[in-house]
Every structure is written in structure tokens, then in C-alpha cells.
């Protein structure tokens, strides 16, 4: 599907022969918030030791892929995942470009709160008795409706916080727009530099918003594991998903190496 936002960045072309732009789009590794069941959007939580081992497996599973570029969100979990995956895959010389637009959804006043209790409250706001019922009734669009519920509840300030408006929960369209903007920048920049393989590390829900823009009919597992990867080919604003969404192929390959 073709998704456009702003005109392409004017990056100088290199002398390399033109190649397809192949994007390996991954979720960050396991964090302390994942371990504690807390909401982490724009909040920064460190990678756990379990998460570091997952990164090592991801990197080992990507050996043989020569990356020409790498991008990630601006939080520690994004950078540590990207850096480790590059180092363990033999791509130590590749620098990482950091882009805040590749962050997770912002949950505003709900950041750092217990995920189970928060999802229960959000589900009731949407008219359901539980998050399980929310997923069942809303199907593949559940993540969109849930993010919009965060937006509505935080704008109503039901938690009584003093957050600035710009730091409150995002609407789903805001997340989608910035993710499309970031990914188009990645695709156009790498294409102008000659193409090749590019590693991009973001977060689970923001990845869903982007992939939903690429293919609204695509099935996405509600529980995308840490360090799962979706492979895409980019060509002049057009993205083709290659293989399954949120694959653990590279992690499993590295775990067995």
C-alpha cells in the first residue's frame, strides 16, 4: 500500500548500486515495565537481563544480513535493542539514527500504571466488562479504539493530574501519522543512499498503527512478543509486507545457534 505524508527528504545519493529498501521492523526487548505489568509509552524503563539475552538471540539470528542503516525511537529500550541486534549480527559499524516519532503510543496520565487495572477501566469506558470482551467484540480494531479511549479519558483528566496538554495521551490518528512520517523518512533516505537492508526498532502498539496503515486487512497478534520482527520492502512510498507480522524467526534462529 502507498502511504504519503511530506515530500521526500533530499539526501545525497551514494555511489552504491541501487538496491531494494528492505526494512526489518522490530519491537524493543523485554523491560522492567514488561516484567511488572506496567504501562510504558513515552516513559523510559530499562531492559532486563532477560531482555538482553533476547537481544543477543535476535542479533545472532540476523547474522548474514548486512545492514546499511539503522533507526530507532529515542528511548533507552529502543536504542539498546537496536545496538545489541547490530553488534550481535556482525553489523557493529552501522550507526543508529534516533527519531522520537518512532516512540510507543503516549498514554499520558496512565503512564507507569498497572496495565491490568488500567485496561479494565478503559474497557468499561468503551462499554465492555473486561479487556478480553473488548478484544473479542472489537476484533482487529481494538488497539485503535483503546488508544482513543486513553485520549478521551486523559483529556477529561479523570486521574486529576497536572500534565501539560502536549504530554497527555495521544489519539490513534496522531500515532499513525507520526509513525508513517518516520517510516517514510527512513524509506526515502535509504533509497536515496542506494537502498539495502535497514533495521528499525520501535514499540508494539506504534508498530501496529503503522502496519495497520500499510495494510488495514492484515492480521496482527494482539501480543506481539519482544524482539518480534516484520519484514517490509519499500518502493517510492509503497510498502509490501513480506512474510508474517511480528515473526520470532530471527530470535528462534539465534536461540538455537
Annotated catalytic residue, options 78, 80, 104, 188: 104
pLDDT of residue 218: 81
For the chain, how many residues are written?
Answer: 257
**68: annotated binding-site residue?**
no
pLDDT of residue 14: 45
DSSP string, 56-89: HHHHHHTTT--EEEEEE-SSHHHHHHHHHHHHHT
Give domain 21-104+173-255's CATH number out of 3.40.50.1240, 3.50.30.30, 3.40.50.12280, 2.30.30.60.
3.40.50.1240
Q: Is 131:120 a contact under the CB 8 Å cutoff?
A: yes
pLDDT of residue 222: 67
Q: What residue spans define the domains of the chain?
A: 21-104+173-255, 108-167
pLDDT of residue 217: 86
**77: annotated binding-site residue?**
yes
pLDDT of residue 257: 83
Q: Is 125 a catalytic residue?
A: no
pLDDT of residue 224: 85
**33: annotated binding-site residue?**
yes
* Sequential pLDDT tens for the chain (257 residues): 555 443 334 344 444 437 899 999 999 999 999 999 999 999 999 999 999 999 999 999 999 999 999 999 999 999 999 999 999 999 999 999 999 999 999 999 999 999 999 999 999 999 999 999 999 999 989 999 999 999 999 999 999 999 999 999 999 999 999 999 999 999 999 999 999 999 999 999 999 999 999 999 887 776 789 999 999 999 988 999 999 999 999 999 999 98
**30: annotated binding-site residue?**
yes
The model carries a pTM of: 0.92
Distance in angstroms (rounded) separating the CA atoms of residues 63 and 84: 12
**34: annotated binding-site residue?**
yes
Residue whose entry in the numeric block shows the C-alpha cell 511480528: 246
DSSP string, the chain: -B---SPPP-PPP-SSPP--EEEEEEE---BHHHHHTB--SSS--PBPHHHHHHHHHHHHHTTT--EEEEEE-SSHHHHHHHHHHHHHTT-TT--EEE-GGGSPPP-GGGTTSBHHHHHHHHHHHTT-SSHHHHHHHHGGGHHHHHHHHHHHHHHTTTT-----GGGSPPPHHHHHHHHHHHHHHHHHHHHHTT-EEEEEEE-HHHHHHHHHHH-TT----SSPPTT-EEEEEEETTEEEEEEEEEE-HHHHHHHT-
**78: annotated binding-site residue?**
no
Q: Is 104 a catalytic residue?
A: yes
pLDDT of residue 13: 44
State how far the alpha carbon of 128 is from the alpha carbons of 115, 146, 157, 158, 171, in Å. Answer: 16, 11, 21, 18, 20
Amino acid at each position: 500500500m502507498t502511504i504519503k505524508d511530506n515530500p521526500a527528504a533530499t539526501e545525497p545519493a551514494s555511489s552504491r548500486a541501487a538496491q531494494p529498501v528492505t526494512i526489518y521492523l522490530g519491537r524493543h526487548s523485554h523491560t522492567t515495565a514488561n516484567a511488572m505489568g506496567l504501562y510504558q509509552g513515552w516513559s523510559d524503563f530499562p531492559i532486563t537481563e532477560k531482555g538482553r539475552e533476547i537481544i543477543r538471540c535476535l542479533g545472532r539470528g540476523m547474522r548474514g544480513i548486512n545492514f546499511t542503516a539503522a533507526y530507532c525511537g529515542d528511548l533507552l529500550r529502543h536504542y539498546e535493542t537496536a545496538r545489541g541486534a547490530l553488534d550481535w549480527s556482525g553489523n557493529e559499524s552501522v550507526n543508529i539514527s534516533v527519531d522520537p516519532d518512532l516512540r510507543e503510543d503516549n498514554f499520558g496520565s496512565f503512564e507507569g500504571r498497572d496495565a491490568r487495572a488500567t485496561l479494565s477501566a478503559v474497557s468499561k469506558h468503551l462499554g465492555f466488562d473486561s479487556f478480553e470482551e473488548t478484544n473479542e467484540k472489537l476484533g482487529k480494531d481494538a488497539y485503535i479504539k483503546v488508544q482513543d479511549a486513553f485520549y478521551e479519558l486523559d483529556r477529561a483528566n479523570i486521574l486529576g493530574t497536572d500534565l501539560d496538554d502536549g504530554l497527555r495521551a495521544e489519539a490513534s490518528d496522531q500515532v499513525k501519522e507520526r509513525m508513517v512520517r518516520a517510516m517514510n523518512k527512513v524509506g526515502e533516505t535509504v533509497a536515496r543512499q542506494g537502498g539495502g537492508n535497514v533495521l528499525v526498532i520501535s514499540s508494539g502498539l506504534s508498530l501496529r498503527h503503522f502496519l495497520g496503515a500499510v495494510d488495514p486487512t492484515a492480521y496482527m497478534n494482539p501480543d506481539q512478543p519482544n524482539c518480534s520482527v516484520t519484514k517490509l520492502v519499500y518502493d517510492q512510498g509503497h510498502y509490501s509486507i513480506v512474510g508474517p507480522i511480528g515473526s520470532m524467526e530471527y530470535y528462534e534462529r539465534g536461540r538455537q545457534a
